[in-house]
Structure 1
């Protein structure tokens, strides 16, 4: 690795994980963006290359640029950075496209500066990219992208993030119907208050999911992957959602829900074999409806961002 340049892989992520709106997320292993970040003597951040998606390269309109500027503002670095972004995660897919760019930029910059910032500080910088993308500086995608595995945002003020263990046989299947659901739009339709009854059900499931992850209790994980608050509203934006969920569970998935703000739908399974069967069951639904789709089957990525050889 050159001392002034680094090439990285930044993983896609599943946020919310059914019951944990804005506080739970996990990182995927088989899909993510690649980025090249280099130190320059010129001040500021420049996006010098962006392939794979039609996204702005102007620094203040790109999530990587905004997150990078947040880090630079707190840094002693007198120069700046150039960023190349090779997008493999489709924008608006619901698997953390903006989070990958935001997190990858600040993680790589921190590496090139000799790691002066903590992971918690890097999450805060990356959250500024999320603010640009969705209007809300949430951490449920950026935290697992950075730390790997499952993460819990215990608190936003002050920011408190906990990494949760990942059971070794847990696999994710994600199907992305080729429609775009903007995070900002899908947040706008949400209610701002919930009933006490729904709240009790929801935090019971969050606690159950965390307990299941710690104890490798796959059945408990499955019973806890239920969303009483967000999914009933957001699912109406996703064609075929109810049928995809029904078929995924019928094929052996532990649980199934909306990935982030959608339109991607995720399922968690015990073992790769089941995850592949679930993928086939999901595929058949969209084949029948006539909607184009992408499918990813992935182990949970427990490392997070990693350095690639040039």
Structure 2
């Protein structure tokens, strides 16, 4: 085998109260990476499609090659590999764009090398790509993109991840307004200190959300989808955010929040019909303020990144 193509899905990180420690994967929306062995040692990016010419081809600046290099360093070996990337995700969207590229690249390269690593073991290498891309080695996008489902990052110092159950019939609506919000800008508005009361409220909500997932308790999930730390600051950067929330809750959605650092908004619903209606209501909100929007409805993807057969 000299060439492998892998797909990695978009993700929703933070999931309201799970700031930097929780994320989940989306179905069929993501990036595709082809990795081909070559004789000359070294990693090269041959082409990138779908990025509008914005992503770097240099191996030390591209998330695909940075992630693969981290894996090769861990193996103590060097190989010759040529990478081609097909972007299915918009940049700066809050849907884990850089994470999906790194995840797909790692799954493809790992397959080429005879699977020296289990999927779990690939996450730290993808985190190095995130460190290069946004300045911090977060796992709340890369872990669910690789593993699928809901993933809790319990500890970063000694990486400890927990894959959580996904209740049957849980749907996500992604609402992507046509504006770009850079992660660095979104992080710059965050407060560096929070009160004891806020910490207590946030802890109760993340615990409630996880308990709701385990118990398939949609009421508990709904009550727990509240963020008192990041959302109040970041919502100001997304016009129509609170109007959208009110509209979808009136339709029976479980809750909504900012996907990653935004501007994409996620909405969780019980059942596909509610998820579709939430998307339609969201589109109407943004049309009123003159912003185009993309809507995507999906069950939570429990598969994660995978090798595509020729």
Query: Equivalent residue for 2:11?
Result: 13
SS at match of 1:262: coil
Distance in 2 between the 1:226 and 1:30 partners? 27
Root-mean-square deviation (CA, aligned residues, Å) is 1.1
* Residue pair 1:41, 1:78 contacting (<8 A) in 2 also: no
Distance in 2 between the 1:78 and 1:235 partners? 45
SS at match of 2:281: helix
Query: Equivalent residue for 1:129?
Result: 129
**Which consecutive residues of structure 1, in runs of 5 or more, have no partner in the other structure?**
none
Query: Equivalent residue for 2:263?
Result: 263
- So what's the TM-score if we normalise by structure 2? 0.97
Query: Equivalent residue for 2:106?
Result: 106
Q: CA deviation at 1:118?
A: 3.4
**Which consecutive residues of structure 2, in runs of 5 or more, have no partner in the other structure?**
none
Distance in 2 between the 1:188 and 1:45 partners? 33
Q: Aligned residue pairs: how many?
A: 308
CA shift digits 1:54-93 (9 cap, x unpaired):
3111111111121111112122544221111100100100
Distance in 2 between the 1:235 and 1:30 partners? 27
Query: Equivalent residue for 2:44?
Result: 46
Query: Equivalent residue for 2:85?
Result: 85
Runs ≥4 residues deviating over 6 A: none
Query: Equivalent residue for 1:118?
Result: 118
**Aligned 1:149-228 pairs, distance under 5 A:** 149-228=149-228
Structure 1 stretch 236-245 or stretch 74-83: which is displaced more? 74-83
Structure 1 stretch 291-300 or stretch 150-159: which is displaced more? 291-300
Q: CA deviation at 1:124?
A: 0.7
Q: CA deviation at 1:141?
A: 0.2
* Residue pair 1:175, 1:295 contacting (<8 A) in 2 also: yes
Query: Equivalent residue for 2:238?
Result: 238
SS at match of 2:267: strand
Distance in 2 between the 1:289 and 1:41 partners? 54
* In the alignment, structure 1 residue 301 sits paired with structure 2 residue 301: yes
Q: CA deviation at 1:7?
A: 1.4
Distance in 1 between the 2:31 and 2:158 partners? 29
SS at match of 2:60: helix
* Residue pair 1:30, 1:296 contacting (<8 A) in 2 also: no
SS at match of 1:290: coil
SS at match of 1:228: coil
Q: CA deviation at 1:104?
A: 1.2
Q: CA deviation at 1:41?
A: 2.4
SS at match of 1:60: coil
* Residue pair 2:148, 2:301 contacting (<8 A) in 1 also: yes
Q: CA deviation at 1:120?
A: 3.6
* In the alignment, structure 1 residue 56 sits paired with structure 2 residue 49: no
The change in CA–CA distance for 1:240 and 1:280 in structure 2 (over 3 A counts) is same
* Residue pair 2:35, 2:109 contacting (<8 A) in 1 also: yes
Distance in 2 between the 1:119 and 1:30 partners? 19
- So what's the TM-score if we normalise by structure 1? 0.97
Query: Equivalent residue for 2:69?
Result: 69
Query: Equivalent residue for 2:252?
Result: 252
